[in-house]
Chain A
Amino acid sequence: MFDNIWFQILVFPGLVFLLAWTFFVFYFARKTLAYIHKRVGPHFNGPAGSLQTIYDIFKLLTKENITPKTADPYLFNIIPLVTPIVAALPVILIPWTPLMHNGVVLDTNYGVLGLVVLIGVEPFLLFLTGFGSNNKYSFLGGMRVLAQMLSMETPFFLAALSPAILFGTMNLHDIMYSNTWLTTLILLPGAIIFIIAMLGILEQPPFNIPEAEQEIVYGFYTEYSGTNYVLLKFAEFTEILVVSAAAVTLFFGGYRGLFFDSFFCLFLKIVLIAIVMVAIRASNPRLRLDQMLKFAWSWLVPLAVLNIVWIIFAKLYILGA
């Protein structure tokens, strides 16, 4: 069943799975944040308010799609269709469950490369949404996305490279199974850099500069409403899933568990990363754009390069290859 191509596209790890994840992570982030805020969060619809996000999304789907007069109508409406597809593409490269052949949909020896490239394209599409809106706030948001993408993707790529160098392969399945307790420790600095850069790529606090609502209203989202907005949000949550799954696969042994290998081990690890993200979000204010640039280029990039040196050193002298 899991090797059937239509099942893969439509159910797992395709459409249904991604939708379910979107509903889940929306609800989960709301509820966790509410707990830290000393609020209740979604409460009335469904058990513990769990249906609230579904209602919200369907409400948005029924709303009118407004295209501003000054916006470029083609760019403005096409990008929200392209973005979720591009965001969902890396799903085929990530090993999800041992039930599939080698755990992945597309078994390739260039998994890491495909992953970073497909993740790296996404912010450029978000810039295009801001560009197509032809609104001052959206455009500023779009420019901020570009600046952030350029500075955060360098350490992101370098950190993603470290397991590939250590294990000498770009096959994600192989990387996952080569991981031991020792290599996890060796890869820990790389993992930390990866997660920090990941916050920048996903525009999560404290790097939520492109959509800083107190500064530029809602950044590139400003003009979007209804279905287009849902599609963009769907892309955002899919990207969160993909990037956290990539982090788990590259550094923390993917779907391998202590006692058994299963999708649920992967899911648990992703949720742990999500909790870390929500905790950072709940306790830190936003950085300024120039401070983010300074942090990225004078700390994160040099550290990422040093990390590569450390990985090569560890490969030669600790693992003794």
Chain B
Amino acid sequence: MEAIKNVLGKYENEYIEDYKPTWVKAKFKNPKDLLNIVKDLKEVGVETCSTVSPTDFIDENKIEVNYFLEDLINKKNVWLKFDLPRELEECKIDSITPLMPSADWHELEAYSTYGVKFEGHPNLRYFLISADYFGKFPFRKDFDWKKHEESLIQNIDDITSEWLDEYEENKKTLPKDGSETVLHWGPTHPASGPIRLVVGVDGENIKWVDPDIGYVWRALEHLVERKDFVGAITSVERICFMDNPNPMICYSEAVEEIAGKEITRFAKLMRVLLGEIGRCASHLISMGGFFGNAGLHTFVMWTMDIREYFLDVLEDYSGARIATASVEPGGVRYPMPDNWLETLEKAIKKYEDTVPDMLDIFINNPLMKTRAINTAKISREDVITNYMAGPIARASGVKLDVRIDEPYAGYDEIEMDYVTCENGDVYDRLYIFFKELNQSMDIMKQAIAKIKEGIEKGEMNPKKDHLVRMPRRMPAGEAVTRVEWARGEMLMHLVTGEKATSPYRLKLKAPSVNHTMVLDSLLRGKTLSDIPLIYGSMHICQGDLDR
């Protein structure tokens, strides 16, 4: 920490302060210093960029750019802030992508939505947003959404013409004879989901891959600003349907931090339970989907069968199976129903009964091993440069888990250790999910025991302790919270104004962005058959990719 502070102190700053146990927060006066700061930080071990988040302060006529940099090995994080003028011509800052490749798509996203120009970015282009938003920078506070939607026909024409242009360009650039062509893997492909991989192939061999994302871009970061603090959870939870409670936990922690409220121990443990249920539901789909991508649909049916039991638990709690809206600022939304813990124990038992069959038939399947072992390895260095998060990083042997590094909710009470695999190949990226499921079951058992004990001793009241009253109006402030989401680190940066009733700005950082970013380097030189397998092994969810 001191080393980082020394480095940052060399540059002209407004303040350098500690923030939470693992963060250093610093605001600098001169944006020109950015590259030197990042260079110096790299020397003290901060090598990864988590995300870039601009905030538009229209009243002060400035855009504040936040950089969230992380040292994955020593668990030290840096939060840098720079002020830029709002005018499009002067809203420029140096790109850190050449120094930290993990910032690549995050910078593109900031450019497309806020118009912050990153000078020196290797390929600065509009990204994520559809063609009708090009050059309009929709997340700026002065963008008029209603007016934009009035010219509907023109917008559709813009999108279509972008497609046709691409088609024409392919016609020109591709050789007339020979076996080279461009294949589209998605967006309506049996295994892709709403993402389009533009694959340049020579016969069956892949020359290059260019992921085209944004098919489910719902502008969630903007939708949150239209809602009040509780209503915002409905936008936040729609990041991805597979792991539903964890994003809400992340958002609620940020709101509580700004409000300065502490929630009850019961609510914290309930958050652990709900978070782990979400993780199990998501991991089960991910594992099944991996085999589905390899052409075997039995496993996905089996895992769906187990998942139903976990969804039953969520339904008992909140009335909904997928979009539960079960966590809100101040605790968890509902009191605990009677016999709810027994339903959860039933689900855990169902999973544990199926484990031997799962291992024998699927996880140790020799044909799957032939395809997966030693395919598309991700080394520890790749994890750090490109910031592979969560299970993907742990499959490569990097000890990375927000639940342990920066405990939130009730995780500080839980005994757990990093689960890792060694090789970082496709097989490990499947096997890690199995290991993590077992770990989740263990965590849930611990939390259940703690809640039962608390109720017996009379320390907790499951009917009243679930929620503490939150202030109606928030003070001005900002917070950064992280949770270990099913697919990796989820980071939220929340900014509120004075006496606010709704968030001023919420940046959602989700891990799938980085996981999609590396597809090109993973797939180059492989064959067409490897696309579904490797793509499936990255466990990408388009919901959190596009937001």
Contacts and interface: CB of A to CB of B under 8 A. Distances in A.
A249 B118 CA distance: 72
Contacts of B528: 140, 215-216
B190 A289 contact: no
A98 interface: no
Given A215-B532, A288-B527, A206 B367 contact: yes
A136 to B, nearest CB: 6
Contact of A283 (B189, B296, B305, B371): B296
Interface residues of B, number: 31
B529 A285 contact: no
B295 A208 contact: yes
Interface string A132-149: 000011001001000000
B301 A285 contact: no
B298 interface: yes
B295 A286 contact: yes
Interface stretch (A36-44, A101-109, A166-174, A179-187): A36-44
B318 interface: no
Given A217-B190, A291-B371, A285 B531 contact: no
Interface of A: 36-39, 136-137, 140, 143, 205-206, 208-209, 212-217, 282-291
Contacts of A214: 189-191, 292-295, 532
A91 B189 CA distance: 38
B351 interface: no
Interface string B362-382: 100101101100000000000
Contacts of A216: 528
Interface string B282-310: 00000000011111111001100100000
Interface in B352-366: 361-362, 365
Interface in B377-430: none
A209 B530 CA distance: 12
Interface string B170-206: 0000000000010100000111000000000001100
A36 to B, nearest CB: 6
A283 B361 contact: yes
A87 to B, nearest CB: 24
B162 to A, nearest CB: 21
Contact of A291 (B181, B302, B370, B531): B370
Nearest to B192: A214
Interface in B492-527: 527
A288 B291 CA distance: 14
A161 B180 CA distance: 41
B183 A136 contact: yes
A209 B361 CA distance: 21
Contacts of B191: 213-215
A283 B366 CA distance: 11
A91 to B, nearest CB: 30
B529 A288 contact: yes
Given A140-B204, A214-B295, A217-B190, A38 B305 contact: yes
Interface in B148-184: 181, 183
A62 B436 CA distance: 50
Nearest to A280: B367
B11 to A, nearest CB: 51
